[in-house]
C-alpha cells in the first residue's frame, strides 16, 4: 500500500528482513503474506506477482495493481476490514438482528467481525495452501458480543469432539506400541 517511505513498516518490508510468519497461526488472525510481497521488484505486483502495465509498458513506478492493493488491505489490515464490514452491515447482528453502536466503551456492546467458516480450519497452512476466501467479504459477518460468544463456544465443543475422535483412531496403534514395549522390556 502507498505508505510513507520513512515509516517503520516501510523499512521492515524493504530492508533485509525475513517474512514474519510462514504458516498461518491462529493467534495472528491474518494469513502469512504472499511470497511476492517480499520480492521488492518495481513494476511487479506484491500481491499476485504479475507485471503491472500502463499503456502496454511495465509501470516501474508501481508495486501494486489497484484491485490487488484493495484486496491486500481487506485481508491484512483488520482496521480496514472492520470499516468495510461496518459500511456493509451498519452494525446489524447477523443472528439476532440487534443494531450495535459503531464504537463503545462497554464490552457487552462491542460488535465483532466474525468469520462464518472459522479460521482454525486454515491453521498450520502455508500461503500456497491457504484459501483466502476465508478472509474475503463473503465469509465475514457482524455479530454482537452475545451471539459471538455463543458461536465461539459451539465451535470449541465441536473441535474438542473432533480431537477426541482423532485420538480414538490412534488407539489401536497405541496398544500395539505398548505391546512392543512390553516385549522389548522382557
Ligand atoms: Zn496484482
Ligand atoms: Zn446478536
% of the chain at pLDDT higher than 90: 59
- Please tell me the distance from the alpha carbon of residue 64 to that of residue 50, in angstroms, as a whole number: 9
Q: Which of the four pLDDT bands, split at 50, 70 and 90, describes residue 151? A: very high
Residue 140, pLDDT score: 97
Task: Dump pLDDT digits (tens) for 99-142.
Answer: 999 998 888 889 999 999 999 999 999 999 999 999 999 999 99
Residue 26, pLDDT score: 79
Residue 122 Cα to ligand 1 middle (Å): 23
Q: What share of the chain is helix, strand, coil (3-state, %, to 5)?
A: 50, 10, 40
Residue 173, pLDDT score: 83
| Annotated domain spans of the chain | 8-145
Over 60: is that where the pLDDT of 17 sits? no
Residue 34 Cα to ligand 1 middle (Å): 11
Name residue, grid cell 463473503: 138
- Please tell me the distance from the alpha carbon of residue 26 to that of residue 152, in angstroms, as a whole number: 14
Residue 147 Cα to ligand 1 middle (Å): 36
Residue 11 Cα to ligand 1 middle (Å): 22
Q: Going by DSSP bridges, is the β-strand pair 140-144/111-115 parallel, antiparallel, or unpaired?
A: antiparallel
Cβ neighbours, 10 Å, residue 16: 5
Task: Dump pLDDT digits (tens) for 80-96.
Answer: 999 999 999 999 999 99
Residue 128 Cα to ligand 1 middle (Å): 16
Residue 182, pLDDT score: 86
Burial (CB count within 10 angstroms: exposed 0-12, middle 13-18, buried 19+), residue 157 = exposed
With both helix axes pointing from N to C terminus, report the angle between 78-89 and 66-76 in degrees, rounded to the nearest 10. 90
Residue 68 Cα to ligand 1 middle (Å): 5
Instruction: Provide the greatest CA pair distance for the chain.
Output: 80
| Angle in degrees, CA 69, 28, 76, rounded to 5 | 10
Task: Work out the mean pLDDT of the chain and round it to a whole number.
Answer: 88
Amino acid at each position: 500500500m502507498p505508505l510513507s517511505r520513512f515509516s517503520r513498516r516501510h523499512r521492515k518490508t524493504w530492508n533485509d528482513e525475513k517474512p514474519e510468519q510462514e504458516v498461518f497461526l491462529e493467534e495472528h488472525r491474518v494469513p502469512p503474506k504472499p511470497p511476492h510481497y517480499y520480492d521488492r521488484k518495481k513494476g511487479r505486483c506484491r500481491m499476485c506477482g504479475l507485471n503491472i502495465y500502463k499503456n502496454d509498458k511495465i509501470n516501474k513506478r508501481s508495486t501494486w495493481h489497484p484491485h490487488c492493493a484493495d484486496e491486500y488491505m481487506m485481508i491484512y489490515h483488520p482496521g480496514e476490514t472492520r470499516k468495510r464490514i461496518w459500511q456493509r452491515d451498519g452494525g446489524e447482528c447477523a443472528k439476532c438482528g440487534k443494531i450495535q453502536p459503531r464504537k463503545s466503551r462497554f464490552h457487552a456492546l462491542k460488535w465483532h467481525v466474525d468469520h462464518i467458516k472459522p479460521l482454525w480450519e486454515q491453521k498450520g497452512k502455508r500461503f500456497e495452501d491457504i484459501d483466502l476466501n476465508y478472509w474475503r467479504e463473503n465469509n465475514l459477518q457482524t455479530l454482537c458480543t452475545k451471539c459471538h460468544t455463543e458461536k465461539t463456544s459451539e465451535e470449541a465443543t465441536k473441535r474438542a469432539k473432533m480431537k477426541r475422535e482423532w485420538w480414538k483412531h490412534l488407539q489401536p496403534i497405541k496398544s500395539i506400541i505398548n505391546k512392543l514395549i512390553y516385549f522389548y522390556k522382557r
